Structure 1
């Protein structure tokens, strides 16, 4: 388990070249964190258009406006933060050149958009990972350890919930213009909140079948579902996931019901309790807490840079031993579950889960 840190203390003995693709809200966060972790780096941002005044985004050193300019920059690592519909096209040239590539989640807007991209990633000598950042949350690591230790006994059911009102996601931005509310860019509750699908399958494995109901229930001006209820079915347990863009107070919670007791976690407060007959009110299980909302993103990139840059020294000594990141194969499976969930909802039929031989 990774312990919290008061702030970035890593360094690189050289000046690596980092390319940031796209500069939406998550792209700006990644740029800030790359600069914090790599103060001596040369950072370029690849955008479609250079600002009329020729300015460079804060934290960056230069701007590229074409693929050729981005390649000529000769990056040592690439951070892809464009809309999901553009992930594969943006990342492909760099994966083909064996460069380390970080892709924001989800891997793409639809599984059929991937083509041979997963095979290219497997063949590349560059490190590739997908930004399912909740895996870096210490309280989820504590849950995984509790499950490994058998604390709740045989797991029978689990319920994951996540929700926040879409117009509140990015203060100062019009939600109608953002990725999250547009089908063509890979928006909607299932894709935008697929973090929960990722961590559920990371904790419990891949289901045998699934059912789903999704809908646009609110008057929000979007063309995607704002709510999805997903049931993952296993031989010996059931996992229920509620994903929505509606809750006026942000909420992230997980409850795991086992034969010995129940694990209850508030992921926002980073609090974990175990309830059993001896402790009907529950007893707290200690887990390190990250100091603020950005801490988990810093940990994610501390890990990515430790894999991508040969002379990078992590801010946390345990980073180099971390083994729970989301690779392209697992992210492809999550995307397949999302596709199946949409089919299940649209047809009203349970979907059997099967994966290609080399996902």
Structure 2
């Protein structure tokens, strides 16, 4: 059990309240484990696949429910929506109407349908929300954001975010062609699946003013959804950025580059490092976290959610910001494609 001696009374009270997790797939199980680690005493779960609930019950002692209605009628304090994206809004609306605070995994939804209705429901009821944004808790990106705030790179002119990973390697224990990433009906596809890159770019540079994308279905993976996308962004503050995401790269790649008038920064998730070159001194500085474990950012995300619920912190990504990011991602995916060259 975690050390609870230094918890505020508000957090201590929240840890005794029931949390319901909707969806016990890989991300649902990660959040269940981390909430238990953080000291949440009453964890409930609903998943239409009974074997998933049985596993969660055996590993973490959660209380399983046979249907969503029964789970919500039991009165959860907070609900974590960890199901496929196509179900996010429907389940979040039901939870909000039951009076539960919300954590919704990324992406917020598979479309904008129902998003404004959910937003109105949450604001009318005064519910607290957080939408999945685990990369905002990585120390390298946090350090980069702090340096940008200090003006360490001068005026930022351009940024680029890149992600690539071979989809069959994501969850090698299951058939990737049956997972939500591969299926249109569940809200899959690389653009929404890897909304992480767009998310942290918005966190670094603010709202997007213009967006255009090139989305490709190569056919090489036997899936229904797009497996490669390029995006071009213009932020309201004038920064230009590009992003690349794919299900195809046989070598895991997750990195970003930021160019300013006084220097350049390179962040790499694979090595958990950040390098900054300063033109004035012609020197390069490196920050590295060689012992960093990926789960640390998910634990930090859940700890932040607890503090949001306690009223100790403002949500790092509430529904309004998540709506803007989703709308931008959908703009990238729905851009006229292909562009004809005369």
Q: TM-score, normalised by structure 1?
A: 0.85
Which position in structure 1 is the counterpart of 2:335? 344
Q: 1:289 to 1:90 in 2, by over 3 A?
A: farther
* Distance in structure 2 (CA, Å) of the matches to 1:8 and 1:271: 29
- The 1:267/1:51 distance shift into structure 2, 3 A limit, reads closer
2:127 aligned partner: 126
Q: Which runs of 4+ in 1 moved over 6 A?
A: 52-55, 287-290
Q: Deviations over 1:254-276 (max 9, x none)?
A: 11111011011112322111113
In structure 2, how many angstroms separate the alpha carbons of the residues matched to 1:325 and 1:172? 33
Q: Determine the structure 2 residue equivalent to 1:104.
A: 105
1:1-359 alignment, distance < 5 Å:
9-10=3-4, 12=12, 15-38=16-39, 41-51=41-51, 56-234=57-235, 236-277=238-279, 282-284=284-286, 286=287, 291-308=292-309, 320=312, 323=314, 325-346=316-337, 348=339
Residues in 2 aligned to 1:300 and 1:242: alpha-carbon distance in whole angstroms: 25
Deviation, 1:140, is 1.0
Query: Residue 99 and residue 292 in structure 1: after superposition, are their counterparts in 2 closer, same or farther (change >3 A)?
Result: same
1:146 offset after TM fit, Å? 0.8
Shift of 1:309: 5.3
Matched length: 331
**Conservation of the 8 A alpha-carbon contact between 1:155 and 1:258:** yes
What is the alpha-carbon distance in structure 2 between the residues aligned to residue 171 and residue 121 of structure 1? 38
Gaps of 5+ in 2: none
Moved more, 53-62 or 25-34: 53-62
- Cα distance in 1 for partners of 2:76, 2:265 equals 44
- Give how far 1:69 is off: 1.4
2:333 partner SS: helix
Unmatched 5+ stretches in structure 1:
1-6, 311-319, 350-359
Choose between structure 1 and 2: higher helix proportion.
2
Residues 275-312 of structure 1: CA deviation (Å, up to 9, x unaligned): 1335656221x4767731111000011111222258xx
* Higher mean displacement: 87-96 or 107-116: 107-116
Structure 1 pair 149–52 and aligned structure 2 pair: CA distance change class (3 A): closer
Give the 3 Å change call, closer, same or farther, for CA 170–274 of structure 1 in structure 2.
same
Cα distance in 2 for residues equivalent to 1:337 and 1:19: 30
Q: Which residue of 2 aligns with 1:316?
A: none
Q: Secondary structure at the match of 1:233?
A: strand
Secondary structure at 1:212 match in 2: strand
Name which of structure 1's ranges 64-73 and 259-268 shifts more when overlaid on structure 2: 64-73
Contact 2:214 2:338 in 1 (8 A): no
- Secondary structure (helix, strand or coil) at the match of 2:230 reads strand
The SS at the match of 1:199 is helix
- Give the C-alpha shift of residue 237 in structure 1: 3.1
Question: CA, structure 1 residues 62+92, in 2 after alignment: closer, same or farther (shift >3 Å)?
Answer: same
Give yes or no for contact 2:213–2:229 (8 Å, CA) kept in 1. Answer: yes
Q: Distance in 2 between matches of 1:282 and 1:145?
A: 17
